[in-house]
Structure 1
Amino acid sequence: MACLKILLFFLFITISFAQNTTIFQGQHLRVGEKLESPNKEFRLEFFSLDGNKTQYIGIFYNLPSNMTLYPGDDRPVWVANRDNPILYASGNTLTLDDDGNLKIFYGEDSFVMLSSYNVTTRNASATLFDNGNFVLVELNSNGLENKTLWQSFDYPTDTLLPGMKLGRNVKTGQIWSLVSWISKDVPASGSFTFGIDPIDIDQLIIWWMGSVFWTSGRWGNETFGNVSRVSHYDYVSLSYVSTVDEKYVTYSVSETRTLSRYVMDTFGFIKERGAAGPFGVCFYKPSPGCVTEESIGCSIRNNSWFNRRQNNVSGNRFRFEDNNMSLFDCKRQCEKNCSCAAFASITANGTGCDTWSNVSILNSLESDVFILDDERDLVPIRNRSSTNVPSTISLPPDLAPEPSPNSTSGSSKGTSTKWWIWLIAVIGLTLLVGLSSLCYFLYGKGKAKAAALLLLNQTANVSKKRKVDKKMSHEVQLYSLESLAIATDNFSPGNKLGEGGFGPVYKGEMLDGQEVAIKRLSTSSGQGLLEFKNEILLIAKLQHTNLVRLLGYCTQREERMLVYEYMHNKSLDFFLFDSNKKELLNWETRFRIIEGIAQGILYLHKYSRLKVIHRDLKASNILLDAEMNPKISDFGMARIFGTQESEANTKRIVGTHGYMSPEYALRGIVSTKTDVFSFGVLLLEIVSGKKNNSCYDTEHPLNLIGLAWELWREERALELIDATLIESCSRDEVMRCIHVGLLCVQDYAKDRPSMSNVVSMLMNDTKQPPPPPQRPGFFIERGDQRAEISEEVVRYSINGLSISELRAR
């Protein structure tokens, strides 16, 4: 008994230890709880920066009680959901779900996905290690690690820890770079990025909003050309690693409990713990590697001097719409405008941008405003006294470098003159080198290098175009433009799957090996922000085996892209209307496709959380997976109905000619019977292998619907069947499909069956035979005086492309 007690005691200690360090599947980390690394070097927990309004999950150093602490030691070294803050609530949890994915759950059913692995694993755990890395692994049956599924070191935020990499994996496309916070209180992706040069030159680069801000110079003799020393501490050792597969910078420390870190600051330089770092110091003094920006609007205004005042101001104010601008971004915008005399953040947390011209200083207030000092403008900051003139751009006192021995608080005119001579010489030399490099860039390796630069500049501007409704990101993932460029080999023609009415579709492979289809919307496509939002919000809420799954979206810069699960067999029209490929669609496969499409539409109309009218059902919008199972796609034109709503009238008619019902195309009336008509056209196309938007009579306008109707009336309906199916088809099933197809395309909406009845008739579950079909829509009898109208319909129905807007008559 004593042995058993001892065993249980040690088992309890082991389990408690594991629970403080590791999350296993089905377990939760709640608000107020934390994970600690084995030696308690780091902790992972929920935190807030705005008085418990929003919450993040972050990793922090555990601060020793016996160590001198510096400002910033208590900052998180990694933020899980930096661009997706959640509302503060005590019930929020970090969970490792049953599929092996890490998710932050909040609200009722909402979550932020941290890790997404394309293969479900049933034996996973996530552990915080003593190097600060949070690692998700798959375990063997014996509990030992099998493989790493995901790790926080692969997704750094603004901080580089010992052992982390800064660079890229050439083989997988993985990029490791630091991205600044927007402000000290907002960890969202800012405008500065720190990473390795993508053009195969052994150097580091800092970008500001995609433009080169600073370069380190090439690596050699254990340092970089423009860096006098890589650290202020002797125990720090920097390494540059270049192999066939990987190219990166990393560093190590020879002492323990150093709290060592490099941080990408919001002003574009790299801070080391307790000191200004050796990288990217361009803002407050000239430094080797700083790139002189060509005139940004007012050449005399670059690096202007602004005094910080706690005053209210009046004048002509201009407010920028982008609330994700940092203070540095705001200053640059002010410098671009020759009449700008003051700027300030909009919010108390240092984001947003107001600028003023014709400024008058009013009463004092608590918030800061920065006013141009004309007398001090263009005097170098390093030669100014920081005691009497506070500046937004000056470094915090604890991180400011020691002043130059030659600098004085009151610069004389002679010193100023020497400064101007020196400045002009440096600018001239920089421009000369820059122009030479530019020529080499353009004429030597222009295209390849530009593409490489695009691929590295990951997340540099992620937050700048975050205009899409926040509820979009609750159920789908937000991708960066650069990650999708990497996945598609910079949208190479070889990865192009096809092109629809709204733009090209590319095949891509994400860093975790998942294959995706990326729809890149053309700016001239006609699908505006309304349709884009509609497709994201709608399809994210729809879950059915016959509907394509939306994985995420991208709204960076001017791009609008949708990321879907990849369908290996492209779309139905790829096979159906090709004389050679259609032979791969035997009758069994075609009937399964018909059934799947019908089930998908029935789900949209009746069983989904929303009552949805697709409005653009056609062969090119039916995708086929590896087993040739159909999935309905392209919900940009879909219309959501209330549960009690049966039809609506719209002046904005969208869809594809030849698939639109008469009442919708001519009068703008939309209902579930609109989709029924489109399905009927699609059904007849699948049976016959013919396009509806073709003419099947040399003397009379006769589309596929009309041909099927004439053959049915003459009891020759089986002549409609595709010649490749004659040997493999079931005649009864073919006749049933033609019969149902003609019922679906009847002229009057009230005569058409519901999708519930369509499914029952196709499955032959009805007790009574289907009623005889009536005259189909758009059918013109031979010799009818309306033939002229029909010819116009045919003439505008030959391309099969979606139209985004057509005013009803």
Structure 2
Amino acid sequence: MEDHSIPILPILFFLVLILLPLDCTALDTISANQEIKDGGKTLVSKEKMFQLGFFSRGKSKNRYLGMWYKKISYGTVVWVANRETPITDRSGMLKLSRHGDLVILGSHNRTVWSSNSSVFNNPVVVVQLLDTGNLVVWNKNSVIWQSFDYPGDTILPGMKFGKDLVTGLERFMTSWKSTDDPSIGEYTYILDTNGCPQIFRWQGKVLASRLGPWNGLGFSGFPVENRNTIYITEYVENEKEIYVRYDLISSVVQRVVLTWDGKTLFLQWVERLKDWIVYAETLGDSCDQFSLCGPYGMCSINNHPPCSCMQGFEPRSPEEWEASDWASGCIRKKPLDCGSGDWFLKISGVKVPDTRRTWYNVSMTLRECETTYRRKCSCTGYTSLDIRNGGSGCLLWLDELMDTREYGGDQDIYIRMAASELKGHGDSQSDSKELKRILIVVVLTSSVISLVLVVALACRKVKNRSHKKKQERRYMLDEKNKSMQMEPFDDIPYFSLSEVAEATANFSASNKIGEGGFGPVYKGVLEDGREIAVKRLSESSQQGLDEFKNEVICIAKLQHRNLVKLLGYCIHQNELILIYEYMPNKSLDFFLFDETRSLMLDWPQRFNIIQGMARGILYLHQDSRLQIIHRDLKAANILLDADMNPKISDFGLARKFVGNDTNAKTKKVVGTYGYISPEYAVHGRFSIKSDVFSFGVLVLEIISGKKNREFSHGDHRDNLLGHAWRLYKEGRSIELMSGSLQASYVASEVLRSIHVALLCVQHLAEDRPTMLSVVLMLVSEGALPQPKQPAFFTGESHSEAQCVSMVDEYTLTQLYAR
């Protein structure tokens, strides 16, 4: 009987031959000049979690290069390259150039999308799809480009969400236009770095909601009870980047998605259901609408209506509130009066207000925060920056409190209230007794500490004298292959290198608070508890032994409340170190030229800084035993103590003069462009009038909040001096004032200060007043002489303009506090 059965083994062998090439195309990498075509092979990660290729959604014929899950939920797209430039046919091709540029080509080899990541130092490049969902272009072991830096609507575990402060790269989420259209939609989710960083959700150009700032446990607008043990969240903020990142700590699969209709969902894959479930949602009720209740309003989802005013406040428009329109917010029942001792009211369990107009300090305690800023009328509230372990850091509001809501969490906020308003709050009698008890304790403690410090300092002085006698009378310093000798400084405290290293935790990077032309600056704490700022000469510094000696000799013999105090020095082999008193509020430029921090400087504060600077310079020129020309007065060299009083620093370029010998000439012009007088910049002649000129520039910067060197105006090309001169001639000097001073300025003081400044920046040195005249003019009410045209003003006479382009900026060390 003839056998008509079909042979099984040959058929199976044939099928294997067909299917094997398909499996072999599942590569996770391609090299330079290789390609992936639409309809051809794809990239598949090593463990087959993710796949990369071309796709379409729904009924659309548009083709996109994207990435989706392969092992689970096949087709769930997590990243799209050419969102805004789809290909309308199947001609698409992904290609990696030999220089590392990843490109998508359409018909006729038209470039549709590019990673713009070319490098030319090493052509050995590959692109790889990782099991994390990151598409990476490698150059040996370094990353040239990665898809994790360019999120779409999805954040995967391990992705950074935030800003690279070095490159300016921002990693944020944007929704799809619809479920079938991956082009950029209406919603954006972003980590905003203005003020204290916080997360915003934008709907077009409208701020829709706010997650709040990081408080150590999570974001202020994401309650603790909604957090979990499935993933951990990391928040990083340093000088290079600010970002948040979450990582899974279990075997579950999760992703964060910004949906096309604006929801931000934590989605988790449930294998049993073969579906994604909503594990958490960052926003979900009416109180999440940004500033639903307006300024000083409080939103509570448990109340009806949800909006109410904070204690001590009442609706700005009762009629609108009756109509359930709360956007106008609330106003104070009683106005503030800093002079009568305003206080702060504690409100517990809140999502803190909008932090775009805030200032923050990570090293302050909550008590230091309150003590320091109670007297600042611009401070409207404060809280702990980190709520863990009882709280740490200081977060300070400088504007109306917006978008506050009640939560059952651990975050508290302290709101500035009029002293009269707080009299009826709680048991005033018990509060008064408690306050008295605190004052007694503080006085007694301060007395004991003072006594201990006196004894300790006396012992220290005896020890230092003994120590100095044992010191060699000469120190050898090898600088730039030259042998130099330097005598010890008499009557100036000497610190050993071991003492300085111990005070700064061995010059720890975490103690570094700034860096300038001299070198790095560190914060330290001596054995007796004194906080210090340590300037350490770096090998790359343009300054050297001469500047070091000059600074020590000059500043050590100068004693004035408006000059920074030198506590001592250290010389050890190649080490040159200066030890100063610590200035907790950094330098004037740190506040003056920052849009948010400048709000802390109201007009009384600025006028106090102007007068303090004037008194300090007068002391240098006339009242000190040395008689000093500073030569580098600028905003960065004006330090601010705990009470924001100004102290002049950096005397490395200072020069002594005797009696009437107030003029000198040099071939080496040093200082900072924008503050240098014309006769010094062009001819090298400097005098006390050079410092007067710099002071005048500083006054105009303090009033306007603008840098002279970087000033620009749409109607002319003058610098700040020229602009001030134009306004003065037109009788509009008040327009020079910063808009942030509108609520606190005294017009007569502002106009007088501008007038004095213009006298100081006159072109000819002999026309400028002395600092004694400046001090008297600032505090008197008499008539002032008319100023002449300022230096560097080109608007009227180009022949009188001085060219200072040959002057390079010589940046000195800036003592920064954290």
In the superposition, the TM-score normalised over structure 2's length comes to: 0.41
In the superposition, the TM-score normalised over structure 1's length comes to: 0.42
